[in-house]
């Protein structure tokens, strides 16, 4: 054999090896037709077992109008459902109009829209589901990894969410929600409860998102949120750039935000570890600030009309309160090894120019609510924290670091 | 030898590329659909003669809508079966009140040449809505290639279709036959399946070659009692150039969007309501920020910016074919050029 021929054969062998070594070589199979048929014909009380293996889908897989159904895979690393070849439908897996639905022990990947959407369902459990976009943070990724909306009795536990261009674990317009012991990373928002009531968020770890954990109340939706407990979570290093699509509310989250409380009430945040977020540990803000950030967008060249209309709308909505109140933040542990706030966010730049060199642990926008002066924003027993009241309504003229004004009766401002 | 070796290398590379694309289909459970409906369309006896002629049997009536849903340019032939002796109940705004045992039969087909709509054609699917025990059930039947029969199949299918368009250009789509849940996705109101099309406003229509509204014909056949001495409400026909541009655009938005985007539809979470009767500017999306659009916003800030279709999210989404962006979410894979143009002009003229 001539040496050259040997070389070519070696190259050919290498080609084969290299392609079998990449992820593309996963032997994808299709159970789409039979699984979808099974989902449609399932009877009350059925358990649907998903086999081990890598399965690809071309359209949304839907479970609609079913009662007491368990869909069980063979494990988070064993049963992989992927929509990388999706040609139709926005969602990957969609559950709707169900009662007592349990999804457990499988992975969802790469849907064009949301990987998992659950709507109008009473009793939904997501357990040991990994929901990811395999390419990592990309604006092109779908919005939500795990997305129950308009549901009651929601339990999300031991799940993993990664790569969502909006929020990883996102519960919207729902009641009686438990989000516990999950992991969320490389999303724009790691975990978000929005317009939801009676929510417990505990034991979760959110890291390397743009914002780690959000409790939001937004105007113009079917219900408004309140009453949320956030405890025993570990929110750290949420310094991901904000790769959300412009125009969405989360696009205004400053990179480096550990936690954000927006325009909601009856919120308790205790016993969390909040570390190394380069803009702010916890921000307490009103919708006025979000609107102001959007106003900034409007002033750009090629700006469009309508912001004024939106502002007027939420201010005239008598059912919506744009200002956070009854917020109690206590016994949290803050730590920051960063010397400077990040210059990647507007708020970080503002803090540097205002000579607050270390990223603050707690920030309150300080915008007064014209309808309510006593708002019970209580911040106490969090150790020796750095605090800033932005006075955002007056162009930050009276920025203040004094947290004692927020200790509330019974609380200790500083240890 | 050298050439052969290179060929081996190329083959190796080609083999590895093909390997990526090949997908083995696995059947995990045999499906039993007998509890849902009859396995073959012909068994219902809706049609007489060769099935593909769609010649209605006694008691089965053809009907048309003023403004049909866009389904990748598919043509539709609609029939309704009303049990003998029963009557349809009248309703001003909503879908008519059909009696127990009614069946709505909708056939989807492509003429080979759209300029000869009555010429050679290929029927792809027939969707049944059957009203039994007070509930509507949606059943999809898929036609065989020989065009002799259609079979119940709840999992849907994608079928490549080619035709010559009105402008003489040959067009192609991968036509998607929906699965039974996708049927429900559009037909669900609250938690019940309902018909979308046959309201008085849609049926108040003068068919090709006729001079009277088909509702009058229904009344003459004893199928419905119409209120006397008043004009019946009517939705504009968006394909009719003689109708006002705004009414055509709003009719297009209603039939293509408002089955979800209405206060009791699956799109209610968005707060965007697109029934032709909506006058509230915010509900129509004018100056309305998106709620959970994700990348569906396309970086645009409001559903509708008056005068600016290219800054309006609504326009962006009806012009998209990306599965995560486009609206409606199911039922089309191409853009309805004529429809989006209507909406574009409407937004451009909004103040």
Mean pLDDT, range B213-238, rounded to an integer: 93
Chain B environment of A192 (Cβ under 8 Å): none
Do B12 and A15 count as a contact with CB atoms less than 8 A apart? yes
**B20 contacts chain A (CB < 8 A):** yes
- Average pLDDT for chain A: 86
Of the candidates A11, A29, A33, the beta carbon closest to that of B155 is on A33
Distant-in-sequence, close-in-space partners of B210: CB < 8 Å, separation ≥ 6? B217
In sequence order, the β-bridge partners of residue A106 are A129
Do A62 and B188 count as a contact with CB atoms less than 8 A apart? no
Chain B environment of A307 (Cβ under 8 Å): 301
- Residue B231's pLDDT is what? 87
Site from B5, B176, B328 to mutate, A interface, most A CB atoms within 10 angstroms: B5
Is residue A65 a part of any domain in this protein?
A: no
Chain A environment of B16 (Cβ under 8 Å): 15-16, 19-20, 25
Of the candidates A2, A56, A172, the beta carbon closest to that of B1 is on A2
- Residue A373's pLDDT is what? 87
Query: Which position has the higher pLDDT, A362 or A316?
Result: A362
In sequence order, the β-bridge partners of residue B288 are none
Q: What is the distance in angstroms between the Cα of B140 and the nearest Cα belonging to chain A?
A: 12
Mean pLDDT, range A77-87, rounded to an integer: 95
Q: Is the pLDDT of residue B25 over 50?
A: yes
**B292 contacts chain A (CB < 8 A):** yes
Do A8 and B6 count as a contact with CB atoms less than 8 A apart? yes
Question: What is chain A's length?
Answer: 415
Angle at A195 between CA A207 and CA B186, to 5 degrees: 105
How does residue B233 score in pLDDT terms, banded at 50, 70 and 90? very high
Q: Is the pLDDT of residue A234 over 90?
A: yes
**B26 contacts chain A (CB < 8 A):** yes
Looking at chain B, the whole-number percentage of residues with pLDDT higher than 70 is: 92
Minimal-distance CA residue of chain A relative to B28: A34
Comparing CA positions, the residue from A31, A46, A120 lying closest to residue A82 is: A31
Most confident of A4-13, A244-253, A254-263, B260-269: A254-263
Per the CB < 8 A criterion, the answer to whether B315 and B286 are in contact is no
Do B180 and A40 count as a contact with CB atoms less than 8 A apart? yes
Mean pLDDT, range B18-36, rounded to an integer: 72
Angle at A48 between CA A43 and CA A51, to 5 degrees: 155
Per the CB < 8 A criterion, the answer to whether B154 and B179 are in contact is yes
What's the rounded Cα separation, in Å, for the pair B286 and A148? 27
**B183 contacts chain A (CB < 8 A):** no
**B137 contacts chain A (CB < 8 A):** no
Predicted-complex ipTM score: 0.71
DSSP state of B270: G
**Cα Dmax for chain B:** 93
How do the domains of chain B map onto residue ranges? 41-220, 245-349
Do A62 and B182 count as a contact with CB atoms less than 8 A apart? yes
Mean pLDDT, range A236-251, rounded to an integer: 87
Comparing CA positions, the residue from A398, A404, A345 lying closest to residue A368 is: A398
**B8 contacts chain A (CB < 8 A):** yes
pLDDT, tens digit, 9 for 90 and up, residues A184-199? 999 999 999 999 999 9
Q: Kindly state the tokens that stand for A265.
A: 């009430």
Chain B environment of A63 (Cβ under 8 Å): 181
How does residue A7 score in pLDDT terms, banded at 50, 70 and 90? low
- Residue A89's pLDDT is what? 79
What's the rounded Cα separation, in Å, for the pair B56 and B62? 7
pLDDT, tens digit, 9 for 90 and up, residues B72-103? 999 999 999 999 999 999 998 889 999 999 99
Q: Is the pLDDT of residue A33 over 70?
A: yes
Query: Which run of H or of E encompasses B4?
Result: helix B2-21
Minimal-distance CA residue of chain A relative to B334: A88
Chain A environment of B327 (Cβ under 8 Å): none
Mean pLDDT, range B298-303, rounded to an integer: 87
Of the candidates B1, B33, B294, the beta carbon closest to that of A248 is on B294
Q: What is the distance in angstroms between the Cα of A298 and the nearest Cα belonging to chain B?
A: 9
Mean pLDDT, range A125-133, rounded to an integer: 98
What's the rounded Cα separation, in Å, for the pair B188 and B264? 9
What's the rounded Cα separation, in Å, for the pair B279 and A86? 37
Of the candidates B26, B174, B288, the beta carbon closest to that of A30 is on B26
- Residue A354's pLDDT is what? 66
Do A20 and B16 count as a contact with CB atoms less than 8 A apart? yes
- Residue B186's pLDDT is what? 83
- Residue A299's pLDDT is what? 33
What's the first-to-final CA gap in chain B, in angstroms?
A: 75
H helix and E strand count, chain B: 7, 13
Do B12 and A13 count as a contact with CB atoms less than 8 A apart? yes
pLDDT, tens digit, 9 for 90 and up, residues A270-303? 999 999 999 999 999 998 887 776 665 433 323 2
- Residue B113's pLDDT is what? 97
Per the CB < 8 A criterion, the answer to whether B227 and B290 are in contact is no
Minimal-distance CA residue of chain B relative to A165: B294
Of the candidates A64, A96, A113, the beta carbon closest to that of B324 is on A113
**A223 contacts chain B (CB < 8 A):** no
The shares of helix, strand and coil residues in chain A, as percent rounded to the nearest 5, are 15, 40, 45
Q: Is the pLDDT of residue B1 over 50?
A: no
Mean pLDDT, range B127-152, rounded to an integer: 95
pLDDT, tens digit, 9 for 90 and up, residues A366-410? 999 988 888 999 999 999 999 999 888 888 888 889 999 998 876
Residue-by-residue DSSP string for A258-277: EEEEES-EEEEEES-EEE--
Residue A116 three-state SS: strand
pLDDT, tens digit, 9 for 90 and up, residues B171-180? 999 999 989 8
How does residue B129 score in pLDDT terms, banded at 50, 70 and 90? very high
What's the rounded Cα separation, in Å, for the pair A338 and A332? 18
Q: What is the distance in angstroms between the Cα of B38 and the nearest Cα belonging to chain A?
A: 15
Least confident segment among B7-21, B59-73, B223-237, B285-299:
B7-21
Of the candidates A19, A30, A246, the beta carbon closest to that of B299 is on A246
Do B323 and A112 count as a contact with CB atoms less than 8 A apart? yes
Q: Kindly state the tokens that stand for A335.
A: 């730590």
Q: Which long-range contacts (CB under 8 A, 24 or more apart) does A177-186 make?
A: A177/A148, A178/A154, A179/A154, A179/A204, A180/A155, A180/A156, A180/A204, A181/A157, A182/A156, A182/A157, A182/A158, A183/A159, A184/A145, A184/A160, A184/A209, A184/A212, A185/A161, A185/A209, A186/A136, A186/A137, A186/A162, A186/A240
Q: Which long-range contacts (CB under 8 A, 24 or more apart) does B137-143 make?
A: B137/B36, B137/B37, B137/B193, B138/B180, B138/B183, B138/B184, B138/B187, B138/B193, B139/B36, B139/B37, B139/B180, B140/B177, B140/B178, B140/B179, B140/B180, B140/B183, B141/B40, B141/B41, B142/B177, B143/B52
- Residue B189's pLDDT is what? 83
Least confident segment among A180-189, B100-109, B306-315, B327-336:
B327-336
What's the rounded Cα separation, in Å, for the pair A150 and B83? 39
Q: What is the distance in angstroms between the Cα of B271 and the nearest Cα belonging to chain A?
A: 6
Do A59 and B154 count as a contact with CB atoms less than 8 A apart? no
- Residue A357's pLDDT is what? 67
Q: What is the distance in angstroms between the Cα of B298 and the nearest Cα belonging to chain A?
A: 7
Do B23 and A20 count as a contact with CB atoms less than 8 A apart? no
Q: Is the pLDDT of residue B20 over 70?
A: no
- Residue A298's pLDDT is what? 39
| Residue-number span of the structural domain to which A175 is assigned | 133-406
- Residue A210's pLDDT is what? 97
- Residue B184's pLDDT is what? 81
Is residue A210 a part of any domain in this protein?
A: yes
- Residue A312's pLDDT is what? 45
Is residue A50 a part of any domain in this protein?
A: no
- Give the Å distances, CA to CA, from A96 to A406, B159, B181, B193: 43, 27, 10, 13
Q: Is the pLDDT of residue A338 over 90?
A: no
**A65 contacts chain B (CB < 8 A):** yes
- Residue A294's pLDDT is what? 65
The number of beta carbons lying within 10 Å of the beta carbon of residue B18 is 9
**B2 contacts chain A (CB < 8 A):** yes
What's the first-to-final CA gap in chain A, in angstroms?
A: 82
Distant-in-sequence, close-in-space partners of A185: CB < 8 Å, separation ≥ 6? A161, A162, A168, A206, A207, A208, A209
Of the candidates A12, A34, A307, the beta carbon closest to that of B12 is on A12
Is residue A411 a part of any domain in this protein?
A: no
What's the rounded Cα separation, in Å, for the pair B94 and B202? 10
Is residue A127 a part of any domain in this protein?
A: no
Give the A window 309-348 contacts with B, CB below 8 Å.
Answer: 309-310, 313
What's the rounded Cα separation, in Å, for the pair B216 and B210? 11
Site from B280, B295, B300 to mutate, A interface, most A CB atoms within 10 angstroms: B295
What's the rounded Cα separation, in Å, for the pair A97 and A91? 16
Look at chain A and report how many structural domains it folds into. 1
- Average pLDDT for chain B: 89
CA quadruple A15, A20, A22, A23: dihedral positive or negative? positive
Chain B environment of A13 (Cβ under 8 Å): 12
Of the candidates B13, B28, B298, the beta carbon closest to that of A51 is on B28
What's the rounded Cα separation, in Å, for the pair B38 and B40? 6
Chain B environment of A310 (Cβ under 8 Å): 287-289, 302
What's the rounded Cα separation, in Å, for the pair A371 and A261? 19
Distant-in-sequence, close-in-space partners of A357: CB < 8 Å, separation ≥ 6? A339, A340, A341
Distant-in-sequence, close-in-space partners of A208: CB < 8 Å, separation ≥ 6? A185, A186, A237, A238, A239, A240
**B271 contacts chain A (CB < 8 A):** yes
């Amino acid at each position: 054999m001539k040496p050259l021929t040997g070389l070519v054969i070696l190259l050919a062998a290498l080609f084969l090896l290299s392609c079998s070594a990449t992820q593309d070589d996963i032997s994808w199979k299709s159970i789409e037709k039979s699984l979808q048929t099974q989902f449609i014909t399932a009877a009350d009380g059925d358990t649907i077992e998903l086999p081990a293996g890598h399965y690809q889908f071309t359209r949304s897989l839907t479970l609609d109008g079913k009662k007491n159904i368990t869909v069980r895979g063979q494990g988070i690393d064993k049963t992989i459902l992927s929509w990388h070849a999706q040609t139709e439908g926005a969602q990957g897996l969609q559950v709707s109009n169900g009662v007592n639905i349990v999804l457990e022990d499988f992975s969802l990947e790469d849907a064009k829209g949301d990987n998992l959407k659950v709507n109008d369902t009473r009793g939904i459990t997501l357990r040991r589901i990994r929901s990811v976009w395999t390419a990592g943070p990309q604006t092109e990724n779908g919005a939500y990894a795990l997305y129950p909306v308009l549901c009651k009795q929601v339990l999300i536990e031991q799940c993993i969410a990664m790569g969502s261009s909006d929020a990883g674990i996102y519960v919207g317009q729902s009641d009686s929600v438990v989000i516990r012991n999950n992991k969320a990373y490389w999303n724009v928002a790691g975990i978000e409860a929005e317009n939801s009531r009676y929510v417990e968020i505990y034991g979760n770890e959110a890291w390397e998102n743009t914002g780690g954990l959000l409790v939001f109340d937004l105007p113009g939706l079917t219900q408004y949120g309140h009453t949320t407990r956030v405890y025993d979570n570990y929110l750290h290093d949420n310094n991901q750039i904000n790769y959300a699509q412009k125009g969405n509310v989360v696009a205004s989250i400053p990179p480096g935000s550990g936690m954000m409380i927006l325009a909601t009430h009856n919120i308790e945040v205790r016993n969390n570890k909040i570390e190394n977020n380069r803009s702010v540990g916890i921000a307490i803000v009103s919708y006025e600030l979000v609107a102001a950030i959007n106003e900034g967008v409007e002033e750009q060249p090629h700006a469009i009309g309508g912001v004024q209309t939106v502002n007027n709308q939420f201010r005239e909505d008598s059912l919506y309160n744009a200002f956070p109140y009854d917020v109690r933040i206590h016994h949290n542990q803050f730590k920051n090894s960063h010397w400077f706030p990040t210059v990647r966010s507007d708020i970080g730049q503002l803090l540097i120019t205002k000579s607050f060199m270390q990223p603050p642990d707690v920030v309150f926008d300080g915008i007064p609510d014209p309808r309510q002066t006593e708002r019970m924003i209580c911040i106490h027993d969090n150790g020796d924290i750095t605090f800033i009241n932005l006075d955002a309504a007056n162009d930050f003229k009276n920025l203040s670091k004094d947290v004692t004004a927020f200790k509330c009766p019974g609380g200790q401002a500083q240890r | 030898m050298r050439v052969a070796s290179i060929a081996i290398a190329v083959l190796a590379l080609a083999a590895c590329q093909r390997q990526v694309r090949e997908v083995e289909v696995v059947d995990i459970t045999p499906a039993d659909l007998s509890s849902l409906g009859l396995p073959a369309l012909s068994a219902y006896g809706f049609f007489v003669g060769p099935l593909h002629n769609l010649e209605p049997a006694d008691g089965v009536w053809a009907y048309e809508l003023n403004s049909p849903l866009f389904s990748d340019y598919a043509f539709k032939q609609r029939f309704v079966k009303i049990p003998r002796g029963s009557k349809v109940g009248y309703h001003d705004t909503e879908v008519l009140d059909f009696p127990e045992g009614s069946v709505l039969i909708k056939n989807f087909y492509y003429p080979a040449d759209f300029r000869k709509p009555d010429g050679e054609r290929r029927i792809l699917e027939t969707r049944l809505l059957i009203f039994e025990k007070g509930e509507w059930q949606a059943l999809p039947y898929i036609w065989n290639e020989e065009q002799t029969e259609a079979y119940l199949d709840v999992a849907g299918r994608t079928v490549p279709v080619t035709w010559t368009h009105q402008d003489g250009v040959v067009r192609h789509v991968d036509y998607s036959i929906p699965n039974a849940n996708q049927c429900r996705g559009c037909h669900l109101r609250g938690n019940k399946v309902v018909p979308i099309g046959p309201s008085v406003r849609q049926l108040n229509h003068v068919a090709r070659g006729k001079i009277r509204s088909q509702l009058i014909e229904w009344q003459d056949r004893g199928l419905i009692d119409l209120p006397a001495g008043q004009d019946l409400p009517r939705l504009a026909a968006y394909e009719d150039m003689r109708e006002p541009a705004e009414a055509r655009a709003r009719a297009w938005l209603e039939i293509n969007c408002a089955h979800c985007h209405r206060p009791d539809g699956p799109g209610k979470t968005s707060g965007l309501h697109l029934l032709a009767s909506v006058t509230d500017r915010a509900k129509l999306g004018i100056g309305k920020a998106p709620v959970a659009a994700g990348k569906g916003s396309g970086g645009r800030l409001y559903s509708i910016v008056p005068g600016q279709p290219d800054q309006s999210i609504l326009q962006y989404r009806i012009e998209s074919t990306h599965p995560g962006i486009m609206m409606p979410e199911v039922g089309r894979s191409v853009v309805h050029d004529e429809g989006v143009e209507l909406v574009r002009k409407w937004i451009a003229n909004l103040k």
